[in-house]
Chain A
Amino acid sequence: MSERPVVLELRGITKQFPGVLANDHVDFDLRRGEVHALLGENGAGKSTLMSILYGLYHPDEGEILIDGASVRISSPKEAIERGIGMVHQHFMLIPVMTVAENIVLASEPTKAGVVLDLASARRRVSDLASQFNFAIDPQARIENISVGQQQRVEILKALYRRADILILDEPTAVLTPQEAQELFGILKGLTREGMSIIFISHKLNEVLEIADRITVLRRGKRIETLPAAGATEAGLASLMVGREVLLRVDKTAAKPSDSILRVEDLHVLDDRELEAVRGVSLQVCAGEIVGIAGVDGNGQTELIEALTGLRQVQSGRFAVGDRDLTKSSTHRILDAGVGHIPEDRQKRGLVLEFSLAENIALHDFDKEPNSRFGWLRPSRLIARATQLLREFDVRGGVAQTPAKALSGGNQQKVVVAREVANDPRVLIAAQPTRGLDVGAIEFVHRRLVEERDEGRAVLLVSLELEEILSLSDRILVMYEGEIVGEYGTDVTEEDLGVAMLGGTRETEAVA
């Protein structure tokens, strides 16, 4: 590997933002035909470094060398001209146009200089797709293809513009595990053809899987560049965070007692009026974490929405303790002692424009001591928020700070603080660590286990198998709206994976 020529080198890149040194003399090099991962927590300076390379920012210091020659890149256009392509986290595609039209956009082939030559556009796109073995229909409209395929369109767009250096910014964040595997296959094919790839991520397992070399950034500094072969998740995590990180959650065996949450034969419809939850029965006892594993879109979202009063129950029933809550409003259900960490903290979990104090009071602003006779008492809200923010180590703001000013990890801490602060009997956590970095994940996981140990019934829904495996005391697998299996903590990832795809139904659903 080391004999391969270096195609790109960044030397001593420094970028100062107000109050933050985003990049501090960062060195980086990329060899032909390798995948070089850039690993770091949110805010470590990965995206800044790549934005500098792509001409979106100008470095305060340092230089960029392509094929050994120093270059100045002052716009994405220049970057593209120098063979650098970037696939952003959020795709820049026009939904109503076809794959081919999107790919040739801004450099459309023409007839006689003026007439758009779509036939040749389609041909060139199919040639490109078959050259790199992409399964994609050039005539499909973007709005009709999956997210994974849209990402391939973005990659093809870069290839069409003759990129030989490809930057992928957190490419798996939007993908299902299967799509991620397909992406990795594509990337390996590209490197065989001589492409060089920079892979930005904060997920340790996928970096180890796909990368040849790994550069770890922390607080704007390059900490180390090491070959992926021989690196371990634990070693990378401590490099990223700067201290030892517990990847496996440290917990004792569960001591489940009374059954708290009981769900019987629940049927729920989704937005298209199709049955998304088909007769789910389960129970969660005080002092245990029950994990629901499953591929996205198998009814987990609808199940949780039904249990929290956000979606109507078609038939069946559920109860917390002795109280039947099947037909209750969200307000009643929350009052009955249900805490809910929602799937999407920005869309649902927080009112981003509200202050942290107001967000923390979202469920109980109308109860004493937060208010009395309909009068809000802001000083009480602030006092309680200040205490909780300290207890949950929320950084980057005080009680009066608007929630949108916080980073994702700290926003999630605010949500968790609110949901556990009122001593719920049941805690429903939907994808509680989505989009968080290692340090914040560790915090949320530890907290969920603590809540369990305090005798709460915890229902965890996650698409991350690792999370399910490391937190749950019992694991249920949901497939096409049904619970298709129940497992103990000793189950292997492979067995779960098979069940999640509907492979076996060996164990019956819990009564």
Chain B
Amino acid sequence: MTTGPNEPTVQQPDADAPQPPSESTADRLARWQRAGGLVAPIMTAVLAFLAGGIVVLATGHNPIEVYRGIWNGTGLEWFYRVGSYEVGLPWSDAKIWFPWDSSSLAGENLQQTLLLTATLILTGLAVAFAFRCGLFNIGGQGQYFAGAYFAVWIGSSFAGMNGFLHILLAIVAAGLAGAAFAGIAGILKATVGAHEVITTIMLNFVALYAGLYLFGQGGPLQNKLQEFSPTSNEVVESARLPILWGDPFLQGLHVGLFLSLAALVAFWVIINRTTLGYEVRAVGFNPQAARYGGISVARNYFLAMAIAGMFAGLAGAIDMLGWRFSIGFSDIQSSTIGFVGIAVALLGRNTAVGVGLSALVFGALVNGTATRNIPPEAFDIPEQAGNLSLTIQALVLLFIGADILILYLWARTGQRLGVGRRAPS
């Protein structure tokens, strides 16, 4: 909308004004762009699944069958299996009526999905927060490790400590460890301008090999009871997170989910309602203007990285205290939860609500494609199911790139045909 003084302005939609007989392309474009915040990510996910189906088809199997298996594995069907059931109230023997069956198989699957969702929310926020400051934090994995190492070390030490204080100590230490670890990249960026993508990737390796050393054979934190098993000590009973839903011995859903939900709220509040968030966003959008406005760009680079790292560190804490209880050589080598966080943040467009929803999507996806959930007849080798999961994740990333491309092309063609936002002068 380019309007000089005394120029007609583009008319704002007015409820009282008579509607034009047919909407213009511009109206449709405007609606598309408004809806784009929601439509595009959903389309992205749908397209990724369709493409994944073609991959399955190419291997000579029935994609519908596979997807049904995946869907059942996610446990999301639990929500529409409504009936009349009872559920126990916490800290008492009382039972009350509940519309869902809390002990069904679908319920157990859902617990696993939510278990992953809780962690993915935090690793997703670790990417999203840095992104809002214009930084691409690839180091979520390393920051997750930093948090996990501290959580497991503190959780397995200090036996006999008050449970609540023990958990609190472990969580705070893990958050600080993640913050400090990411803060290294922040300081390097702020002082000498080292690119955060490079430094965080390198720090991932530092965290990985530090873990392999610490918990590996003969490492200082290796389990003392099983000398030949390269793994950490177990988190003591009293330092484990209470189970919210499900069997404590079968990876029930722990209360860490609430920490994740609280983190989503905190993310939104910090970004939108604090002066810190204002500074972070200003630096993220336009560092030059921020500097001109008196905002210290370097300080914000450091703070944004540290806060991002704190989220990832907390993810490590709830995993260790909630269901893993120990971390071993092979766990460290195979963990990708920090990297999935990148996809979570991108699909969720770096907003609080978006990250929450896309963490659920990826949690369901990773859990649903776990080997045990795929019908055996669908794949000759069950491990192919896990590969399908990775394929779909990769496709989602690809399509996120594509949807930005589509919106870009759309806007360009729109401008050429004169339907862009700006009326040319």
B357 to chain A, nearest CB (A): 23
- Tell me whether A439 and B289 are in contact (CB under 8 A): no
A407 within 8 A of B: yes
Of the listed stretches B3-11, B232-240, B365-373, B393-401, name the one at the interface; the rest are far from the partner chain. Answer: B3-11
Interface string of A95-124 (1 = CB under 8 A from B): 000000000000000000000000000000
> A18: which of B27, B293, B296 is its contact (CB, 8 Å)?
B27
- Tell me whether B4 and A57 are in contact (CB under 8 A): no
B298 to chain A, nearest CB (A): 11
- Tell me whether B24 and A374 are in contact (CB under 8 A): no
**A48-B424, A374-B276 known; A439-B418 Cβ under 8 A:** no
Interface string of A21-45 (1 = CB under 8 A from B): 1100000000000000000011111
- Tell me whether A362 and B419 are in contact (CB under 8 A): no
State in angstroms the CA–CA spacing of A342 and B275 once bound together: 23
B276 to chain A, nearest CB (A): 7
A254 within 8 A of B: no
> B1: which of A354, A366, A406 is its contact (CB, 8 Å)?
A406
B29 to chain A, nearest CB (A): 9
Chain A residues 319-363 with CB under 8 Å of chain B are 329-331, 333-335, 340, 342, 347-354, 358, 361-363
**A331-B296, A353-B285 known; A374-B274 Cβ under 8 A:** yes
Task: Give the size of the chain A interface in residues (CB under 8 angstroms).
Answer: 64
| B276 contacts across to A, CB distance below 8 A | 374
> A219: which of B8, B27, B294 is its contact (CB, 8 Å)?
B8
| B27 contacts across to A, CB distance below 8 A | 18
Q: Which residue of chain B has the shortest Cβ distance to A217 in the bound complex?
A: B425
State in angstroms the CA–CA spacing of A43 and B423 once bound together: 8
Chain A residues 358-402 with CB under 8 Å of chain B are 358, 361-363, 365-366, 371, 374-376, 378, 393, 395-396
A405 within 8 A of B: yes
**A19-B10, A363-B294 known; A44-B274 Cβ under 8 A:** no
B97 within 8 A of A: no
State in angstroms the CA–CA spacing of A29 and B353 once bound together: 57
A437 within 8 A of B: yes
B288 within 8 A of A: yes
| A20 contacts across to B, CB distance below 8 A | 8, 10, 423
**A362-B282, A376-B277, A396-B3 known; A18-B291 Cβ under 8 A:** no
Chain B contact residues, majority secondary structure:
loop
| A405 contacts across to B, CB distance below 8 A | 1, 421
| B24 contacts across to A, CB distance below 8 A | 18
- Tell me whether B418 and A342 are in contact (CB under 8 A): no
- Tell me whether A395 and B286 are in contact (CB under 8 A): no
A15 within 8 A of B: yes
- Tell me whether A440 and B4 are in contact (CB under 8 A): yes
State in angstroms the CA–CA spacing of A410 and B278 once bound together: 23
B201 within 8 A of A: no
- Tell me whether B275 and A47 are in contact (CB under 8 A): no
| B282 contacts across to A, CB distance below 8 A | 351, 354, 362
| A342 contacts across to B, CB distance below 8 A | 292
> A437: which of B4, B273, B290, B295 is its contact (CB, 8 Å)?
B4
- Tell me whether A375 and B274 are in contact (CB under 8 A): yes
Interface string of B15-57 (1 = CB under 8 A from A): 0000000001011000000000000000000000000000000
State in angstroms the CA–CA spacing of A353 and B9 once bound together: 20
- Tell me whether A18 and B10 are in contact (CB under 8 A): yes
- Tell me whether B288 and A348 are in contact (CB under 8 A): yes
A347 to chain B, nearest CB (A): 6
> A348: which of B2, B7, B274, B292 is its contact (CB, 8 Å)?
B292
B193 to chain A, nearest CB (A): 14
A510 to chain B, nearest CB (A): 28
> B425: which of A47, A57, A350, A351 is its contact (CB, 8 Å)?
A47
A242 within 8 A of B: yes
- Tell me whether B290 and A378 are in contact (CB under 8 A): no
A281 within 8 A of B: no
State in angstroms the CA–CA spacing of A44 and B4 once bound together: 8
State in angstroms the CA–CA spacing of A41 and B5 once bound together: 9
| B7 contacts across to A, CB distance below 8 A | 41, 43-44, 219, 407
State in angstroms the CA–CA spacing of A41 and B418 once bound together: 20
Chain A residues 120-148 with CB under 8 Å of chain B are none
- Tell me whether A51 and B3 are in contact (CB under 8 A): no
| B281 contacts across to A, CB distance below 8 A | 351, 354
- Tell me whether B273 and A378 are in contact (CB under 8 A): yes
**Sorted from nearest, which 6 A-B pairs have the closest CB atoms?**
A331-B294, A362-B293, A19-B10, A439-B5, A18-B26, A41-B4
28 A–B contacts from the bound complex (CB under 8 Å): A17-B423, A19-B423, A22-B423, A42-B2, A43-B3, A44-B7, A329-B294, A330-B291, A331-B296, A334-B294, A335-B294, A347-B286, A348-B288, A348-B292, A351-B286, A353-B286, A362-B282, A362-B289, A365-B275, A375-B273, A376-B272, A376-B277, A376-B278, A407-B1, A407-B2, A408-B2, A439-B6, A440-B4
Given A18-B26, A21-B8, A395-B9, output 15 extra A-B contacts at Cβ < 8 Å: A18-B423, A19-B10, A44-B7, A47-B425, A241-B6, A331-B294, A347-B289, A348-B292, A354-B285, A376-B274, A405-B421, A409-B5, A437-B4, A437-B5, A439-B5
